[in-house]
Structure formats: C-alpha cells, structure tokens
Amino acid sequence: MADLRVNVAGVEFKNPVIPASGAFGYGREYEAFYPLSKLGGLSIKGTTLEPRQGNPGPRVAETPSGMLNSVGLQNGGLEKFLSYELPNLVTKDTRIIANIAGATIEDCAELAGRLNGTAVDMIELNISCPNVKHGGAAFGTSCESASAITAAVRKASDKPLMVKLSPNVTSIADIAKAVEAEGADAVSLINTLLGMRIDIKTGRPILKNNVGGLSGPAVFPVAVRMVWQVANAVKIPVMGMGGISTWEDAVEMMMAGASAIQIGAALFSNPYAPVEIIDGLNKYCDDNNIKCISDIVGTVKPW
C-alpha cells in the first residue's frame, strides 16, 4: 500500500481526496454509503454569517458532460454550523475545511475571526462571491479586490488560509500571485465557469437566475490547464478541482501541480466517486512502484 498522505499548508491529509464545497453538504447524507473517515477531508457547504435561502428555482440544469447550478449559497449560517454541524464533524476522523463566503470584506473577516479557536483545520475563502460595495463584481476577478479580501481575512484568523479562485478571469495566475502576496497559505481552483442554458420552447433561460456555474467533466481540461499555470506561478500549494470523476483524472490533476484534489459534480451521479478514486490511486501507485502519492505532484513534462 502506497503512502497517500499529503500536506497542504501544514495540514496533513490521510489521502488527497476531498469532497468539494457545495457538493457534499456536511457529509451526513453520504454516511449511508461509507464512513467519512475514508476521506482525506471535506470542504463544508459555503457558510455565510447569516442563514441564506439561496436563489429561487429552477437552480440546477443538466448540460452535455456537466451541470449548471445557481443555488446561491443556501446554508444555515455560521451559528448553526458551529453549534450543530461542527460537533458532528469532529467525531469523523477527517480534516475539516471551512468554506466561507460573504458580500463584503468585513463579513468574510468576521467569519474567519469567529472560526479562530474552533476545530476546523483550514479556511477556504470563496472569492467568487459578488462584492456588493463595488457594483457586484466578484472579489476574485481583479488582483486588487482579491488582494484586499485576502489581506483582511489573513489578519482576522490564524488558521491556514486557502483561497478558492474563480476561472472567470483573464489571468488566473496573476490572481493567485496576488493572494499569495497577501498571506494565502494555499489556493484551490477552479470554481465554476459561468454558463447559460435556454429552454427553446419558452425562450427563457432554464435557470431562474439566468446564468449559473458550469461544473463536471466538460470543464476538466480547463481546470488542468489553470492548475498547471498557477502551480508554476506560485510557491504555495495548489488544491485542484473541476470535472474530476475518476482516479485517472486525479492523477492527471496532481501531475499538473495539485497537491490534493476536490470532487464536486461527480458526486451527483456517483456518490462513491471519492472512495473509488482513493482505491484507484492506491492501485496506481502500487502498479507503478510509487511509494508516496505526493511524488507525482507537478511531474508533467511539457514539450
């Protein structure tokens, strides 16, 4: 058996496979299939200061090789997470990544500050959220706003800080370098690509929000490219995601430079995807005489 342990920003995960925020909730439903202790960790449902109902439906649509969603960060708020979800998660023998989101820098900084001293292992800052104080543009679409929110959250918390990057930008490597400069300990990417579907019978968008985030196998090549670009631009670890469905995808993403990977849309068609990927990584390492899975990180050989 290979050593599947990986280290991301000082946090050791027993294996590199982590369900992504928004796709796995808090893991309660998936325990009907396997113990959460099998996972390297899990990134919790995006959490805001106050409870959110999310966007009106329809808010999920199928696409060729993927799905669109505009769920809108539906969650029970920070207090419910701290009082109800976290006490359950700490009993599961897996790493806990607290994904946080807010409409203002101040919201995100307060969230991070209140997670200090809790049992979460890492904060994942979602900078794809609209900045309501500056016309609704996402924090992660400019180096200036990405830097500002990262600096504020870094100041508010001592927890390892991972910033989740938006792919809806001109140069994701520049955004990664900007957050690294302001104290990010790691970056995760990619968040969803902006997409749209139209019902040709009604002439209306299928999603009530008109547009939504595209995920699933269709985005995988884009994600691999962006992970490779970012891994070659920064010195901090990269956590890769975007369309990973199989262990082969996971190996490819790690070769591109990801120290660990997250699984999202694949869970909706195959709830066993994370454990199948873990088993596949084990066999791949054994078959290729690889002692430590981390040895494959960044080993792609560009022409």
Residues with a catalytic annotation lie at 129
CA-to-CA dists, residue 191 to 124, 198, 262, angstroms:
12, 22, 11
For 46, the token pair is 């995006």
Rounded distance between C-alpha atoms, residue 157 and residue 151, angstroms:
10
SS3 (DSSP) at 83: helix
Cα dihedral: 187, 36, 245, 295 (round 10)? 60
**Residues contacting residue 91 through CB under 8 Å, at least 6 positions apart:** none
Tell me which residue has tokens 């078959």.
Answer: 287
SS3 (DSSP) at 294: helix
Rounded distance between C-alpha atoms, residue 180 and residue 202, angstroms:
46
Tell me which residue has tokens 């993403």.
Answer: 253
Rounded distance between C-alpha atoms, residue 32 and residue 7, angstroms:
28
Q: Please state at what angle helix 247-256 crosses helix 273-287, rounded to 10 degrees.
A: 70
CA-to-CA dists, residue 196 to 8, 153, 271, angstroms:
34, 32, 26
SS3 (DSSP) at 75: strand
